[in-house]
Amino acid sequence: MNIMIRRAEDKENETLTLIAFEAKRYWKYPEEYFDVWKDELTITPDYINKNEVHVATVDGKAVGFISIVEVKNDFQVGDLLIRKGFWLDHIFVHPSFIGNRVGSELIFFAKKLCEENNISCLHILSDPNAKGFYDRIGAQFIEEVPSNIKGRTVSLYKFPI
């Protein structure tokens, strides 16, 4: 399988949104979680234009994407403090391509992109189901932090470049 990675185009926002929702649904989360995640998982043309968003394709079809955002100032989201710096905001792979190295290729691409732009590390808020993936790629677990879903936590990681 030949995986190609390229910069996303703003007109791909609906395709990327679909991938994000389908990838999250793969884990059989309760439907009410998706009401909370609706804005977070919806990729807009503006988001694509303002951030580093890159698409993985196989045979010309989008099968996953990654985004890196720069947080210019610390800010609070509920009980969580989001620190200034660069964040791996999204990495999603369509369920039919999970386990086919798409996620690993996206991470390799992100690492190279960060090296080229003198970014020394990425912060990551990991879905509980992705912890093993981040452990395998060498991200460093920092702590469990509150999720935007009441009574749930997510893992904060630091990924040195």
Q: What is the pLDDT of residues 23-44, one digit of tens each?
A: 999 999 999 999 999 999 999 9
Q: Which pLDDT belongs to residue 151? A: 86
Helices (H) and strands (E) in the chain, counts: 5, 9
Q: Which of 39-43, 107-111, 143-147 has the lowest mean pLDDT?
A: 143-147
- Residue 138: pLDDT over 90: yes
- Residue 66: pLDDT over 90: yes
In which element (H, E) is residue 24 found?
helix 13-25
- pLDDT-above-90 percentage for the chain: 88
